[in-house]
Copies of this chain bind each other. A is one copy, B any other.
Amino acid sequence: MNLKQIAKDTAKTLQSYLTYQALRTVLAQLGETNPPLELWLHNFSSGKIQNGESYIEQLLREKPDLALRIMTVREHIAEEIAEFLPEMVRTGIQQANMEQRRQHLERITGIDTSNPSLQPEQQKTSDQNLDNLSN
């Protein structure tokens, strides 16, 4: 597992995602102030936003004022929310894992009762874990 590369890839994905959130913010603002421009930006962005930097570059060529606005907004969003992300993601994954294990164990116990022969592999789970997680 190359954690350094994963961190780099994750930061890049985040950067693209925040560009998408900045676009959504600007679209919402334009919806109130300039609906025709909102429509134009919506159509222009469709299918291009997957790669944030390539998208910004294309928009800079078409409507630089809009691109610069989205760039300003994404930087602002990053400044405001970045510090909260580590705790949110760690907690989110821990809770999701716990919930997935709980549901899985509930399914196993249900299946075990009605027809144990269908799921032999899953029965390895110890009763102790079951007691801890299924409450």
Q: Give the B-binding residues of A (Cβ under 8 A).
A: 1, 3, 6-15, 17-18, 21, 25, 52-53, 56-57, 60-61, 64-65, 67-68, 71-75, 77-90, 92-94, 96-97, 100-101, 103-104, 107, 121-122
Are A10 and B15 also in contact (CB < 8 A) when A74-B93, A75-B94 are?
A: no
Are A85 and B18 also in contact (CB < 8 A) when A53-B96, A71-B97, A100-B53 are?
A: no
A2–B17 alpha-carbon span in the complex (Å)? 15
The number of times this chain is found in the oligomer is: 2
Looking at chain A's contact residues, the main secondary structure is helix
* Min distance, Cβ A49 to any Cβ of chain B, angstroms: 13
Q: Are B75 and A97 in contact (CB under 8 A)?
A: yes
